[in-house]
Amino acid sequence: METELLPWALEGVDLGADVLEIGSGYGVATVILRTRVAHLTCLEIDSGLVHALSRRMVRTNVTVTHGDATRLPFRGKSFSAAVCFTMLHHVPTPAPQDRVLAKVARVLRPGGAFAGTDSLTSPLFRIIHLGDTLTPVDLRTLPSRLESAGFKETAIDRRGQVFRFRATRGT
């Protein structure tokens, strides 16, 4: 994460000072991101992970919030950027994935960046997710889905079984 995935995902992306991380999980990306921004807000749906990450982030520039990315509990235009790493495939179907994209656009300031990564499906990826939600993101439709959500300047790049995406919130 620190030496390959995160640098590649965020290459050329201006995060600004107030960033939202969606689906922070165990906080692998959080500990790296928090050193790059003035304030980081993490949103996580799993209450156990929220509790554990909150304890680890006491007296730091990180706020950990329990919530669902399809119903972001933040005011509009609150963040300079938003990121998510290997989480979109955990959203149950494309329709809620689209709600996540739209909610992210709502909470970003105009011109704010949205960047992240996810994995492409493979036999091993499916095995890892047995008994878990797995809805792979279709790279062919992701640019138009981002644009429908209110983003512009979308870009998708693939590296092996991983892809990165970037988009900018319109005005």
Helix, strand or coil for residue 59? Answer: coil
- Give the C-alpha separation, 86 to 70, whole Å: 16
- What is the helix, strand, coil percentage profile of the chain, to 5? 30, 30, 40
User: Comparing C-alpha atoms, which of 83, 84, 81, 28 is closest to residue 52?
Assistant: 28
Q: Token pair of 68, please?
A: 């669902």
Identity at 49, one-letter amino acid code? L
The count of structural domains within the chain is 1
pLDDT tens profile 145-164: 999 999 999 999 999 999 99
pLDDT tens profile 78-120: 999 999 999 999 999 999 999 999 999 999 999 999 999 999 9
Which CATH number is 103's domain given?
3.40.50.150
Q: What is the pLDDT of residue 128?
A: 80
